[in-house]
Chain A
Amino acid sequence: MFYSVLFPDSAAFSRQAQQENEPECFKDLNLGQVFEPIFKANKDFGLESLFYTPLQNTQVIAYRQDVMRELENDELRGMVAKFAKTVWSLGRRMDLTRKALASGRDGDNNYLAKGRMLDYAQRYCHAVSTLSGQLAGMTLRSEGLRGFSEYILSLCSSQRYKEFYSRVERLRGDFSAVEYCMLIKNGTIRVRKREGQPDLSEQIIKTFEKFRQGDVKDYRQNLPEESYAAHVEAAVLNMVAGLYRDTFADLNDFCKEYIRFDDETLFRFAREVQFYLSWLDYIRPLRAAGLPFQYPEISETPDDLYNREGFDIALAAFLLEKTVKNDFMLKKPEQIIVVTGPNQGGKTTFARAFGQTHYLASLGLCVPGREAKLYLFDHIFTHFSREEDISTLNGKLQDDLVRLRDLLSGASEKSIIIINEIFTSTTVNDAVTLGRYMMDALTALKAPAVIVTFLDEIANYGANTVSMMSMVEKDDLTQRTFKIVRKPPDGLAFAIYIAGKHGLTYELLSRRLKK
């Protein structure tokens, strides 16, 4: 029996504890920035925990990869997306309405709540019947979607569902004929059926038109057609019910009989499938810009890891077709990639991409690159430079060291380590000494790591170290290619060229300030 589109069975579903908080590595890897538009666009679904929970089971990852591959079909995705959005929001609202209707309080259990239930029921029937009709004609390959399709088809052909649908339509027709008038005076509202009185607003506008002098602030408001106090609206509706007795009695019966019309499994599907849809939506413009995505192989050992044409997905959202793609490879005994080279050459970006790709793969999503084998990790540890914060009353170097100590004591060989520009707030000699201590500790740990540094000494550390460099154009040293390639560190730097580019050499700046 179909249960979840994210897990092969209900047992796997309940085994996986959902993380409610953003993993620590998000900020440094800019993953928060990647997922934020997804969370924002799907606020109602509460997708956060799904994206905060990396999987550590290759079977579940494969189940998800299959579903996602199938959802890449535009037609199918369109139908499912529309359905999911409607049913999820109806389900959540219906929960509230059910609570209201179960309550003994007039304030909650009234004709407005019943009216809402009628409205939701109508929209629900429409969504379910539409999708069921569409799926009936399709052949589905993935275990997850095939199971779902069988489920919804059998639901729609049930007798109970058919009766429910026709009842909804009949009630709706009856209510469209109702019209009434309110007389409001001294805190009292009286109600009668509509009579033939003329429109007073029109008359007042005509009367005062002649005083208009010119433009003044417009005090008219765009008022919502909703009552401010629901209990007043409900009281009015109660009086209207006394004027149209049969129609409202019908509504009462309907609400009693069909109070649990919505289906829990459909509801769960509606939220879960949004996990795939939101990701496919997010990467659509990137794909359109020619950036490759793939379903990577997941490896339980770190002996042979690689990705071809990977990229920083957060940066790609801005750069699109200008995004530079880079490869990496770690083949035993290689364990640590050390990236050096000119500044703003894409070193940090490269390190981020390494971490991002691993993280995304662990969720069962398609990831940047053409072909990859990635590590099934337990935790990603990052160490990026941080702004000084007065509340800690700590110096920058001390902060670096404390964070490094915490990182090393929390990590295992199943972890992934990314360290970006550490020890920059001290002298070069100090930094080299501290950098070597750090490399000793990482070697002992055995976990795959990426280190970005300006210290060539670290790139030459040992056999487990792969040196990579950010590259520049041959003809114009100020032009970065943003390519990161395997290459020994060459000690060249280009800082003063860049200063010139910004008009900040002594001569250029003096000229600017004289103006």
Chain B
Amino acid sequence: MKVFLMFSDKNISAKGETYYAKDDLVADLELEPIISCMAQKDETIKTMCRAALFSPLKSADEIRYRQENLKDALQNPDAVRQLYDITVETEKKRKKAWLWLSSMYLSSTFSNAVDLVKLYTEMLRELRLVADRSLPGFRSDGFRRLLAMFQRELDDDYFQTVRSHLESLRDSKGMLISSKLGSHLQGVGYVLRRNDRKGFWTRWRFAPSYTIAPRDDAGATDLVRRCDRAINEATNALAQAAEHLEDFFAVLRGELAFYVGCLNLADQLRRLDMPVCMPELLPQSGSSRNWKELYDISLALTKNGKVVGNDLNTGDKRLYIITGANQGGKTTFLRSIGQAQLMAQCGMFVGAGSFAAPVRPLIFTHFKKEEDSAMKSGKLDEELLRMSRLADHLESGALMLFNESFAVTNEREGSEICRQITQALIENGVEVFSVTHLDVFAEAFLEDRRTQYLRAQRLENGERTFKIIPGEPLRTAYGEDLYRQIFATAK
């Protein structure tokens, strides 16, 4: 029984691809709020959404398969959530049973394993019932195949067969254990002893005794553990029987988790009255970008309100240089692009009114960083080292986002380093967005027709709109205004 909701021909790995510099990407694009909104405190959703985000798809077919499934999930949210809840419930029940029974892995009693298999069987039945009810509403290949499989493989005869297998194994004999006293008089050196010798019960019937109270869960668990200690060596047998079932539920939960995460995020953005759309992905060789109301989802979630979006309509560009006043929305703009591209690559919707962009199976960020607390090197060295490592992994068709990079040396030198790196990247098929204060660098591409200049908008009266508009760099960064403003309020 294969799940195959993420790919048409394989399961997704929970570990995700080994995406280089993943942590930087998460921090720079502020992905954490997005991931936690998707997860809603569910660790599985978190893990799986991360795995999906960091395994960008390369082929348009793969992206389309997932987009179709996601559209279907958005159309049938209740059924998808029901399926997912069953897998969660299964795990919850399993965990609860684990605690009460002191685990099939720990416990030696056959009945533990039997109960576990029973539990899984019941939950398989629940899945089948959801399939019976909701199959007609689904249109996508992925969901239709899965639900039909439940109906086919898990019919009533099958459950009858399982039940008959489970009716045999019970053990109600008492257990005899010998012990000595340890350092603080606790029992140690347990050995399981035979108790079927002649006259045994005559001697033991009136021995001092202690009975666990009916609601004493800890006491009951203690008895199980006590027995475990005595029979640890002798039991290892039935436990493996339930392993296959457990794995199946884990895979199912994991793949559904991605779609439930998407539902959660879509719900939240709808509440904030922010648009989402299915992106249109152009071939990798493309060089036009076209979007309306593209916004920073993470900022909207953090602010818990509406945020400013930006429009762009370009063709045949490979370098975007963004300049302008501090706090003008440049970093936010950069994040919105990175988020949308990354989400689009894994088959998700994006935070925009409309969005069309080339496939970019690799996205890297190079944002200015806090002093490296590992102290292996100075700041410029750290930035260059980081860049150099990214260069080891960069390939044609990648998207590179720079935020105030190489501004740690003086401006003239920083500009030159930045210009050389940027030039090399764009000539080798890497698309570059660069937010910069390095005036000399910013002005170096004024003659290049494949460079798009953008600027944080500032009105005549000095007010910032947080809009990013086409425009070449202006000089000065308004630092002195800010100084006066801040030190005046101190008085």
- Residues of chain A touching chain B, judged by Cβ–Cβ distance below 8 Å, are 27-28, 30, 33, 111-112, 114-116, 118-119, 175-176, 178-192, 194-195, 197-201, 203-205, 208, 211, 216-221, 223, 225-229, 231-233, 235-240, 242-243, 312, 314-315, 318, 343-349, 384-388, 390-391, 393-398, 401-402, 405, 409, 420-421, 423-431, 433-434, 437, 454, 493, 495-496, 498-499, 501-506, 509-510, 512-514
Contact = CB atoms under 8 A, between A and B. Distances in A.
A204 B220 CA distance: 24
A499 B384 contact: yes
Interface in B166-182: 172-182
Contacts of A219: 104-105, 235-236, 239-240
Given A425-B326, A425-B407, 14 more contacts: A28-B371, A189-B211, A199-B191, A221-B106, A221-B228, A318-B375, A344-B379, A348-B378, A385-B379, A396-B404, A427-B477, A428-B411, A433-B480, A499-B420
Nearest to B388: A502
Contacts of B423: 506
Nearest to A115: B185
A343 B378 contact: yes
B404 A409 contact: no
A223 B429 CA distance: 58
Contact of B373 (A30, A237, A398, A501): A30
A217 B378 contact: no
A182 B187 CA distance: 10
Interface stretch (B200-208, B258-266, B284-292): B200-208
A243 B179 CA distance: 14
Given A427-B475, A428-B411, A514-B428, A231 B219 contact: yes
Nearest to B475: A427
Interface residues of B, number: 122
Contacts of A390: 30, 298-299, 302
A184 B227 contact: yes
Contacts of A216: 236, 240
Contacts of B379: 343-344, 348, 385, 421
B161 interface: no
A232 B388 contact: no
Looking at chain B's contact residues, is the secondary structure mostly helix, strand, loop, or mixed? mixed
Contact of A33 (B327, B373, B409): B373
B480 A454 contact: no
Nearest to A470: B378
Contacts of B396: 513
Contact of A201 (B191, B221, B391): B191
Nearest to B102: A228
Contacts of A227: 186-187, 222, 225-226
A178 B223 contact: no
A384 B373 CA distance: 11
B415 to A, nearest CB: 10
A503 B420 CA distance: 11
B133 interface: no
B233 A220 contact: yes
Contacts of B102: 228
B7 to A, nearest CB: 28
Interface in B220-247: 220-223, 225-237, 239-240, 243
7 contacts: A179-B179, A183-B177, A184-B175, A385-B370, A385-B379, A395-B326, A427-B479
B326 A503 contact: no
B188 interface: yes
B481 to A, nearest CB: 10
A344 B380 contact: yes
Contacts of B104: 219
Of A190, A242, A396, the most chain B CB neighbours within 10 A belong to: A190
B96 to A, nearest CB: 17
B410 A428 contact: yes
